[in-house]
Structure 1
Amino acid sequence: MEILIWAVCFNLVSVSVSNQFDPHVYPDVGPFFEGWYMRLIDFSTNNSYGLLFGHVLSIQSTNSSSPKVLASLLHRNHCIENNNTCKLYSSNVVCRSKDLNVTVRDAPVIKNPDDKSPPHFTWQTPFGLFTQTNNITTFHFDFGKYIFRGRIGQPVSWGPDGEGPEGWIDKLPFVPLHWFVFSLRSPVIQYELLNVQTGQLVGGTNGVVHMEKNWGNSFPKGWIWSQGVSRHNISFALSGGLVSLGEITTTQYLMGYRNLAKNLNLNYRPGNAMFSATHNGCGGLFEIKVYGLLHEIHLSASADLSTFSDCLYGPEITGFRQACIESYDAIINITVFKREFLSLKKIDTQIIKFSALEFGGKYTCNGQCQG
């Protein structure tokens, strides 16, 4: 769903960056998974919808009945009118691995994504189709009660030449899990959500879409993910949690913040920043301070407990299992400081409403979704 993970930082090495939105080659044996996630924000209604889909190659020794190919639709419902807060619900569909067809440029996946080529792939099952061609995304998924379809425009990349939040870290061979953001705010060309039972159809053209991808062994034992955009070209995305390398477990974060009006394009990861964070899944609260060389960011996130979903699915070594909770009604407060001689100067402060906030694994309330 939405995760980063890399390793403890060693000496900075010179490596190229890559666009990892295209599919990767699966190993002969698991565990391995690959999953895509997009979140659509409709500025006309302040509503948002999530779509996630992926495939788990489980460990050979498992007899688990957990689904291996899954897609989920996330949608807000049961809204409280006086404060426009809504609980997040999910609708899920599954199929067998043999019914999944993934191609790159209309051919089987035989090599991993290269450094700079734009993505061009199709992910298709009996219940859904997702294509990325010439930087235009189209999707059509049938969840039984709901049909979700649309067309999305050009991406706004995280960085140049396909660079993602991990930067050079995604090249390290021992990293157990990866997080790549393909687009911070692609324009919505058109989307529709049809309630098959009632005939209700909602849709629009005034909005943006955040798109990202994860791949690796499994989601971690505990994590935080958050993302949001505003109408005024302000956006952020962050992910972090427990990174396990053999017997060593550490807590690390990745974060990016954009404010075009103030020429702020800030990216932080192990190696160029230090992080201090607290989380409270039982209270729907998260805070982080990011200490970079030239800037410092203070971010606080909160969401009413009534807006969080029940346990959503995430990829584990035996298949997809209920692993996390999420809200699309989080309020994010961000303050950016610039370092000056012996002091900090506040240069930006923003409130981004209707953001996403996710607690996973051990970071859920009393580990309610650990499985």
Structure 2
Amino acid sequence: MNYNMMSSVRILLFLALFIRTVVGSDYDPHIYPDRGPFFEGWYARLTDGENARSFGILFGRVLPEATQKAATLTYLNLIRSNGSRSMISTETAPLLEDISVTIKNGTPPVTNPTTSAPSDFQWVSRPNGYFNVTANSTEFNMTVNDVRFEGEFGAPVPWAPGGLGPEGWLHVLPLPLHWFVYSLATPGTYRWINLTSKEVLQGSGYLHQEKNWGKSFPPEWIWTEGYDPVKNVSFAGSFGTVNFGPLPVPAMLFGYRNFRSGFAVDFRPDDSVTMKDLQPCNGTASVTIESLFYSVKLHFSAEETTFGTCLCGPVADGFEPVITESFVATAWIQVTQHVTFWDMIFRSGDILEDVVLTGVALEFGGNYLCQDNPCKTKDTCG
């Protein structure tokens, strides 16, 4: 993306800021419009480093284009990874009456959430279970097929003060897609139970919690996140394109936290540019982020065999198998600070962070999938 195009995009974004009338970007449910397309989905990933396990839970709804609320489609997916991958999912589309999404004391939302308000909601699927969030806890009990996933977690570790997520001030814009990270590492305990074989996996770990909502997932993207409790560092990021009106616009959001030193840095399209080298068939992605004061080098890799079968992603007409991801990727992150004017010119300076994290989540989606990926030919999710 050249700088002239980037300046044009910034002008469009700032103009949109002034016509935006509703401010809201939080973990709680949003109001569904009378007609689609619209979707809302939650994602939580649990990492148990001590036992080399990772689990995921995804759930959400899609209001397809030009249909009424009664046609809302629902998707719930449980993922288990312990070096290899097994996945259990539902692909049904229950009526809206089968799904209850409420806030506070069980009342349906009547306004969109506000950024600074604490989270307080419950998502219930009567055949499957519940996911309950308050200001100080996250609890869930979900059953899919013959697997039950239970968890009790404490207060969130927020992305930033004041309830802001990776979008920062951009959350006020009428973007086609929003991404909010509720917690980078919520501590707690879990149980994964196979109701048929009676296998029980239990332990403690950390929960990454986030949410997307908008018209549809983008045409192409990679997503990644990780937390290392020993190094006490965390990161999350997404890189791809979004359709902003008639314009396909390069999009990126990335944040890195070193909780031990207190160092934190975020990057967005309004303050940085990104270069990508994606090799989805090899399970690798390299990204360079350049801003006025920082340069960031990222490299992610995972064995091709650790990427799971196709997951569902929300599109204008419902859900399609457009996602594949690994929970055992490796991430290398290097952050350089430009101290002097010449550092800014020559992109040099002091290396502040140089870390390697394992057990990282790495996801390829949409047009960024490998051409040989079975998602390309699948008609159903799972």
User: How far apart are 1:135 and its partner, in Å?
Assistant: 2.7
**Corresponding residue number in structure 2 for 1:218:** 216
Aligned residues: 352
Work out the CA distance in 1 between the residues paired with 2:288 and 2:361: 18
- Secondary structure of the corresponding residue to residue 261 of structure 1: coil
Name the structure where strand makes up a greater proportion of residues: 1
Partner of 1:82: none
Q: Name 2:50's counterpart in structure 1.
A: 44
Q: 1:55 aligns to what?
A: 61
Aligned-pair CA distance for 1:60: 2.7
- Whether 2:332 is the aligned partner of 1:333: answer yes
Q: Distance in 2 between matches of 1:182 and 1:283?
A: 31
* Cα contact 1:128–1:142 (8 A) shared by 2: yes
Provide, for residues 272-311 of structure 1, a one-character-per-residue CA deviation record: whole Å limited to 9, x for no partner.
1111112111111111111122221100000000000111
For the 8 Å contact 1:59–1:317, the answer to whether it is kept is yes
2:365 equivalent in structure 1? 360
Question: What TM-score, normalized to structure 1?
Answer: 0.90
> Which is further off, 285-294 or 160-169?
285-294
Listed as ranges, the matches of 1:187-336 within 5 Å are 187-188=187-188, 190-205=189-204, 207-231=205-229, 232-336=231-335
- Specify the code of the residue in structure 1 equivalent to 2:132: T
Q: Which residue of 2 aligns with 1:110?
A: 110
Are 1:296 and 1:336, in contact at CA under 8 Å, matched by a contact in 2?
yes
> When you count helix as a share of all residues, which structure comes out higher?
2
Looking at structure 2, the residues matched to 322 and 194 of structure 1 have their Cα atoms a distance apart, in angstroms, of: 26
What is the CA deviation profile of residues 115-141 of structure 1, one whole-angstrom value per residue up to 9, with x for unaligned ones? 311011111112120111233111010
Q: What's the TM-score once normalised by structure 2's chain length? A: 0.87
4+ residue stretches of structure 1 with deviation over 6 A? Answer: 13-17
Any conservation in 1 of the 2:31–2:111 contact (CA below 8 Å)?
yes
Deviation at 1:334, TM superposition (A): 0.6
Structure 1 residue 209 displacement after superposition: 0.5
Counterpart pick for 1:75 among 80, 85, 109: 80
Further displaced range: 359-368 or 193-202 = 359-368
CA RMSD of aligned residues (A): 2.1
Q: How many angstroms does 1:344 deviate by? A: 1.8
**1:32 correspondence with 2:38:** yes
Whether contact under 8 Å (1:19, 1:161) holds in the other structure is no
- Displacement of 1:97 in angstroms is 2.3
For residues 88 and 348 of structure 1, what CA distance do their matches in structure 2 show?
A: 34
Q: CA deviation at 1:98?
A: 2.5
Superposed displacement of residue 88, structure 1: 5.1
Higher relative contact order, structure no. (Cα contacts within 8 Å, ≥ 6 residues apart): 1
| Equivalent residue letter for 1:58 | P
User: What's the CA shift for 1:31?
Assistant: 0.4
C-alpha displacement of 1:96: 2.5
Could you list the runs of 5+ residues in structure 2 that have no partner in the other structure? 1-7, 343-347
1: distance between equivalents of 2:288 and 2:34? 41
Percentage of pairs with the same residue: 37
